[in-house]
Amino acid sequence: MIIVMQQNIDKQLTKAVEARIKELGYVPHIISGEKRDVVGAVGDERGKMVLQSIESMPGVEKVVPILKPYKLASLEVSPQPSRVELAPGVVIGGEEIIVMAGPCAVESEEQIIQTAHAVKRAGARVLRGGAFKPRTSPYSFQGMEEDGLKLLAAARAETGLPIITEVVNPRDVELVARYADIMQVGARNMQNFALLKMLGQLDKPILLKRGMSATIQEFLMSAEYILAEGNRRVVLCERGIRTFETATRNTLDISAVPVLKEQTHLPVVIDPSHATGHVSLVPSMSYAAVAAGCDGLIVEVHPHPEKAASDGPQSLRPAAFADMMIRLKAFVAAAQRTLPTVD
Amino acid sequence: MIIVMQQNIDKQLTKAVEARIKELGYVPHIISGEKRDVVGAVGDERGKMVLQSIESMPGVEKVVPILKPYKLASLEVSPQPSRVELAPGVVIGGEEIIVMAGPCAVESEEQIIQTAHAVKRAGARVLRGGAFKPRTSPYSFQGMEEDGLKLLAAARAETGLPIITEVVNPRDVELVARYADIMQVGARNMQNFALLKMLGQLDKPILLKRGMSATIQEFLMSAEYILAEGNRRVVLCERGIRTFETATRNTLDISAVPVLKEQTHLPVVIDPSHATGHVSLVPSMSYAAVAAGCDGLIVEVHPHPEKAASDGPQSLRPAAFADMMIRLKAFVAAAQRTLPTVD
Amino acid sequence: MIIVMQQNIDKQLTKAVEARIKELGYVPHIISGEKRDVVGAVGDERGKMVLQSIESMPGVEKVVPILKPYKLASLEVSPQPSRVELAPGVVIGGEEIIVMAGPCAVESEEQIIQTAHAVKRAGARVLRGGAFKPRTSPYSFQGMEEDGLKLLAAARAETGLPIITEVVNPRDVELVARYADIMQVGARNMQNFALLKMLGQLDKPILLKRGMSATIQEFLMSAEYILAEGNRRVVLCERGIRTFETATRNTLDISAVPVLKEQTHLPVVIDPSHATGHVSLVPSMSYAAVAAGCDGLIVEVHPHPEKAASDGPQSLRPAAFADMMIRLKAFVAAAQRTLPTVD
Amino acid sequence: MIIVMQQNIDKQLTKAVEARIKELGYVPHIISGEKRDVVGAVGDERGKMVLQSIESMPGVEKVVPILKPYKLASLEVSPQPSRVELAPGVVIGGEEIIVMAGPCAVESEEQIIQTAHAVKRAGARVLRGGAFKPRTSPYSFQGMEEDGLKLLAAARAETGLPIITEVVNPRDVELVARYADIMQVGARNMQNFALLKMLGQLDKPILLKRGMSATIQEFLMSAEYILAEGNRRVVLCERGIRTFETATRNTLDISAVPVLKEQTHLPVVIDPSHATGHVSLVPSMSYAAVAAGCDGLIVEVHPHPEKAASDGPQSLRPAAFADMMIRLKAFVAAAQRTLPTVD
């Protein structure tokens, strides 16, 4: 932590900051500049949040944090990439690129079973489908809830694909965990800390989506909430951030992939469907995601997008998804990664 | 809803869209342009969400929503400004400007009682204080929880000020409601729909903060979640949005005040502390908020900001708050509003 | 400048950074932390830009600038607010709030003369009007050019109001300066450095608009370009920044007013017309701007907005402008400022 | 253009809008909804800008543009991708991916010649280098100007690589054009319309960079300025947009590539150096750009980034550039494109 003092102030003010740093248990180092002093505070990293309050002391211009506030998520603590087992035999973060696919929302048995077969055939290793839907409008379809979870379980029984589904309420964690192989935290809940803490106590892998306007540092701090409770199976998902551009639903922050890879050992997945909002953009963004170094994709596929209860415009038809998976192979190979072999 | 067709396409595609609009229960109107067709869909407004799926039909370029998706929050449904009773004798949305003040977090009995007396003396009508704190880092102080609520209640007993405090977990709604006069939904939970629905079933006023990157329309849709469950005592709070500018913690979207006033009957409050993050900016932003037409302010005040467990740099000392309240009077008068008389 | 080294690296790398800092003429100070070193570089402030290149040295994690890169614009160099004479007897930056008003574009003699009389009557002290219009589309009206300047001069002759008008091309600086009292740099040209340098050599006041996505620091650096060439009569204008919100044309960054007042001695003006894009929002944003501490306003007024060649939806009719000026008086008084008396 | 009327208004207001649409030369179509009317205006597309002024008429809630305002840049006018000849034998927009590389700024003969040889050897087809530098600070290095252009020409003579360099002032267009093969418009000048118009009259290819906060539509409108003057050799360059994220210098909007490909026939280039600001992110973003469908890359390469006069932290060393070009080949092949064979 660096404390920048104001110009031409009484040296006693700098001395007071120095004393306060010692009082908080850190070692102060004063650099006297030509016009102002700068004070460094050295010590154990995690508690440094309280140093921020020094900004309220007289004579202080600003407090500049130097170190990253997360620990368990950091490469400095775990220098090797984590391989997260999503289900028996399905490991993300290693050589294989894992593709998860399925409808935005589970709508009917026929819809989810048909989609499960189709995405499995095309090479997906995990089936996605929402049973609890966080919708902007109270008048929109809110999901089939437990009935949806049962249909997902039926699709798993039929195809063998593990299932990922979203949980939005701490109250439902236990219920969803009874059915799901992987628990998904949506972008709107990235800072629902009560939910994160409960998921941290679970023995299930968690896919954590980045909030719409979360910085990468905040994203990693949310992962840290889960990790700090003991659950180390966290997968990060970039799904587009909010910007001024309206040509796409969100703006895919593709450089988040290598930035995360420089900072954390956790696997990184891209959601090209929510990032773009338009089905025509999904294939090229999937290729780009793999080229950028991601470990997996999560893609919306629906047999009849024009009748979907939600997110139709961004859902690929099964045939388009299969075509994309074929073209994806070349990019996976160029990235020196593999796609799981389909039986 | 307006459906824009692609250029120079087969007229059968337009006919298919027309048929689908009828099937969904709306009346289609085709406008044939020189190069393309445009189809309007007329009918009851609320269900129109499903029309969006038409964007997946062949030949459709885009679907443009025309009407606002909220209803109970709209001025069209309730043309008169709502007066919300926050506590007996404390009404927001009328002539009076209501100021809420207090520390970010309750830290001790001395701190909260001392602050309560100070803000009351200066003219605040509601005491704020956090007991459950949603913090970016799991290693930061997370609040005193129920002990904090008890201290708030003690401060109310001592000063007569009603209390507002945040609830972050649906599980705690009942607990917090036992102590609080007004329930606060923080920016990070603006789209925590499970929480909103529970608060909609409560007989307590709700202060709903705008999410960091929520549009005004999304903000009103979140209010609609509470209203639709039956609770009509909703107060909206603008607290700064996330932009590229780093000189302030967030960017106060001051024009949200008149924009909201054109669209909704709900009262609007400004939080200049979170919006700016710097104590030196709080007074001028409070004056501007009143000039812009807001109905109230919620301001962070702490007796010792340099020792605050959170948000020290944006907390006014009691003396500075009192000074601000004195200067505020002139702006309140200029806005043809009043400040409650202090006993 | 603070150089943060990576964790657990060879101490020789820190020594190399130390040597390079000396080579560049600064004094290095090493703070050895528990896990990493931090190096401060002390010396004359302005040349520090080259220190940034140290980020490319091995072992360096990042370079954190501590000091502000502008000088002539800073309060540290000129601690007193500057009073800028816009025209004989029209001074901005002192006690008086200066209102500039007029149409987006000069369209005809009748239009500009009629508007000039109307805004003068209502209390404006400067007439605005565009002759060279930077338009997003090449097919939009581009301004009347020199004919427009002549009409502005005619309006000045008739009313005595000094005129402000935009210059967009370095080539036209001399031409525009022959007619204008105040030269305006539009948001799109805030970093047109060739233009700024030419204006810096002029003996005319300059109104510099903030770029749509410029930080406050970049804004002040652009002012510094003009100041560094010798022209000290610079007025800053906040006119809304680009954000994700679409309810308004731009987002008025009202806190830019007190932030600028803490950093610079230059006068600050608000443009509520471009900031909001909607005529109904202009009055409340003007009141808020004065309450926030600005020194002036620049407002679009057009006798027939529904026939305006540009910016109709954000142009006040003369009667609405006059009403606003009447209500503005109370806020000006509350801010302990004055409006010039109208003859 | 769709005009949305307010609810429950006098039908005369709708009739007035209808009349005004006719007066402007368009054909009005009224759709009477349950609660409000909507009016479509049909006619030639380009002049529609004046219809926007209808928003100022009484009873009008908003005006929604339906059609895209650009024409020559659109795929609707030119459905085939344009192949732009950058220099004899160097064509962009076809099968080949064209890589342009070189230093941010020309600093010395040795630097530019050495870099030119290195990037040529690695497979670059065009040499980049700045002679006129638009710098945020007036105290930063502003470029070698004509001396820099001469050094670029010397590097071309030595290596045969065509050169691209930026022009920032309309006054210098002729001078720069005497030396450059390709004229570059920087992000800060994307809406410097005077400059665009002059470049539109030139017989040289233009690389137009997207402004930091320009929408894709505004970007295409700026291209339209050049095209409308007669110069059809325009190449678009995405170089990162400004967002709230600070981990990268800008945020690479990778989805701009397929969005542009759906709307325009012009070739699209990515600048991974400015988009990210960090050399370690440049290779993965280059691979992603090719996977996303771009036609070329423009990359900063400097022999000694730690001594660069500008942009050191984002400049690859020649060896790193050569490594990247080798790995790039696999992604180019996966994208079914080619890299030019190096002699």
Q: What is the reported pLDDT for D260?
A: 98
Domain with CATH 3.20.20.70 in chain B: 84-334
- Tens digits of residue pLDDT in D208-242: 999 999 999 999 999 999 999 999 999 999 999 99
| Half-sphere CA count of C263, side-chain side, radius 13 A | 25
Average pLDDT score over residue span D291-305: 97
pLDDT band at C43 (very low <50, low <70, confident <90, very high): confident
What per-residue confidence (pLDDT) applies to B46? 56
pLDDT per residue over D49-81, tens digit each? 677 788 889 999 888 887 778 889 999 889 999
% of chain C at pLDDT higher than 70: 98
| Nearest chain A residue to D281, by CA | A258
Check residue C271 and give its pLDDT.
98
Q: Which of B54, B56, B225 sits opposite A138 (nearest CB)?
A: B225
- Asked whether the beta carbons of residue B331 and residue C334 sit closer than 8 angstroms, the reply is yes
- The top-level CATH class assigned to A2-64 is alpha beta
Q: Which residues of B touch D33 (CB under 8 A)?
A: 40, 42
- Per the model's pLDDT, the better-predicted residue between D141 and A186 turns out to be A186
Question: Do residues B54 and B63 lie in contact, with contact meaning Cβ atoms separated by under 8 Å?
Answer: yes
Tens of pLDDT, residue by residue over C319-330, are 999 999 999 999
pLDDT tier at D309 (50, 70, 90 boundaries)? confident
Of D191, D199, D216, which to mutate for an interface test with C (greatest number of C Cβ within 10 Å)? D191
Residue in D285, D294, D290, D273 with CA at minimum distance from that of residue D330? D290
Q: Which region among A25-39, C29-43, C44-58, D49-63 has the lowest average model confidence (pLDDT)? A: C44-58
Angle between helices B216-228 and B193-200 (to 10 degrees): 40
A84-334 adopts what CATH topology? TIM Barrel (3.20.20)
Which H, E and C letters describe chain B, residue by residue?
CEEEECCCCCHHHHHHHHHHHHHCCCEEEEEECCCCEEEEEECCCHHHHHHHHHHHCCCEEEEECCCCCCCCCECCCCCCCCCEEEECCEEECCCECEEEEECCECCCHHHHHHHHHHHHHHCCCEEECECCCCCCCCCCCCCCCHHHHHHHHHHHHHHCCCEEEECCCHHHHHHHHHHCCEEEECHHHCCCHHHHHHHHCCCCCEEEECCCCCCHHHHHHHHHHHHHCCCCCEEEEECCECCCCCCCCCECECCHHHHHHHHECCCEEECHHHHHCCHHHHHHHHHHHHHHCCCEEEEEECCCHHHCCCCHHHCECHHHHHHHHHHHHHHHHHCCCECCCCC
- B42 closest CB neighbour out of D2, D34, D246: D34
For C44, nearest residue in chain A (alpha carbons): A34
CB contact under 8 A, C4 and A29: no
pLDDT at C341: 75
pLDDT at D255 exceeding the cut of 60: yes
**pLDDT tens, residue by residue, C133-169:** 998 888 888 899 999 999 999 999 999 999 999 999 9
B254–C281: do the CB atoms touch at under 8 Å?
A: no
User: What pLDDT is recorded for position D340?
Assistant: 83
CB spacing of B2 vs D38 below 8 angstroms: yes
Helices C282-292 and B282-292 pack at an angle, to 10 degrees, of 160
pLDDT for the residue D47: 54
CB contact under 8 A, D2 and B66: yes
Residue A273, pLDDT score: 97
- Provide the pLDDT confidence category of residue D168 given band limits of 50, 70 and 90: very high
- pLDDT score of C234: 98
C278 phi and psi angles, rounded to 5 deg: -130, 125
Q: Are A208 and A237 in contact (CB under 8 A)?
A: yes
Closest CA of chain C from B254, distance in Å: 7
Q: Where are the alpha helices (DSSP H) in chain D?
A: 11-23, 109-122, 146-159, 173-179, 193-200, 216-228, 256-263, 272-276, 282-292, 318-334
CB-nearest to C64 from A44, A64, A244 is A64
Greater confidence (B65 vs A199) lies with: A199
Segment A273-287 shows an average pLDDT of 97
Residue C326 neighbours by CB under 8 Å, 6+ apart: none
Q: What is the mean pLDDT of chain C?
A: 93
What amino acid occupies position D277? Answer: G
* pLDDT digit string, tens, across residues D106-151: 999 999 999 999 999 999 999 999 999 998 888 888 899 999 999 9
Range with lowest mean pLDDT among A236-240, A323-327, B41-45, D138-142: B41-45
Which residues of chain B have a pLDDT value below 50?
A: none
Answer whether residue A81 shows pLDDT above 80: yes
Confidence of residue D8 (pLDDT cuts 50, 70, 90): confident
Q: Report the residue from C47, C170, C307 with minimal CB separation from D53.
A: C307
Whether residues A31 and C31 touch (CB distance < 8 A) is answered with: yes
Q: Quick check: A246 and C246 CB within 8 A?
A: yes
Return the bridge partners of B206, or none.
B183, B234
Determine whether the interchain pair A138/B309 forms a contact, defined as Cβ–Cβ distance below 8 Å: no
Predicted local confidence at residue A47, as pLDDT:
54
- The whole-angstrom distance between A251's CA and the closest CA on chain C is 11
Q: Is B20 on the interface with A (CB under 8 A)?
A: yes
Cβ separation C192–D188 shorter than 8 A: yes
B3, B18, B31: which to substitute to probe chain D, counting the most D Cβ within 10 Å? B31
In this predicted model, which residue has the larger pLDDT, C21 or C46?
C21
CB D159 within 8 A of CB D117: yes
- Tell whether B259 is within 8 A of chain C (Cβ): yes
Rg (chain B; Cα; Å) = 23
D181-209 per-position pLDDT tens digit: 999 999 999 999 999 999 999 999 999 99
Going by pLDDT thresholds of 50, 70 and 90, the confidence category of residue D46 is: low
| pLDDT above 90: residue C342 | no
Nearest to C221 among D136, D188, D218 (CB): D136
- Whether C177 shows a pLDDT value over 60: the answer reads yes
Q: Do A20 and B306 touch (CB under 8 A)?
A: yes
Size of interface A-D (CB pairs under 8 A): 123
Nearest chain C residue to B260 by CA: give it.
Answer: C247
User: Which residues in chain A have Cβ-Cβ distances shorter than 8 Å to C242?
Assistant: 244
Residue A76 pLDDT > 90: no
Contacts of C284 in chain B (CB under 8 A): 255, 257-258, 291-293
Give residue B44's pLDDT.
63
What pLDDT, on a 0 to 100 scale, did the predictor assign at position C317? 96
Q: φ, ψ for residue B304 (rounded to 5)?
A: -140, 75
Question: Hey, are the CB atoms on B40 and D35 less than 8 Å from each other?
Answer: no
In sequence order, which ranges of chain A are alpha helices (DSSP H)?
A: 11-23, 109-122, 146-159, 173-179, 193-200, 216-228, 256-263, 272-276, 282-292, 318-334
pLDDT digits (tens, 9 = 90+) for C210-235: 999 999 999 999 999 999 999 999 99
According to the model, what pLDDT value does residue D147 have? 97
Contact residues, chain D, for C228 at CB < 8 Å: 138-139
Chains touching A (3+ CB pairs < 8 Å): B, C, D
**Amino acid residing at D159:** T
pLDDT tens digits for range C292-334: 999 999 999 999 998 888 888 899 999 999 999 999 999 999 9
**What's the mean per-residue pLDDT of chain A?**
93
- Does the beta carbon of A333 lie under 8 angstroms from any beta carbon of chain D? yes
| SS3 annotation, A94-106 | CCECEEEEECCEC
Residue D34 is predicted with a pLDDT of 75
**pTM across the whole model:** 0.95
**Interatomic CA distance for residues C59 and A44, integer angstroms:** 21
Q: Inform me whether the pLDDT recorded for D26 exceeds 70.
A: yes
Residues 28-87 of C with CB under 8 A from A: 29, 31-36, 38, 40, 42-45, 64, 66-67, 76
| Type of residue found at C76 | E
Mutate to test the interface with B, among A71, A139, A281, A315 (most CBs of B within 10 A): A139
CB contact under 8 A, D43 and B34: yes
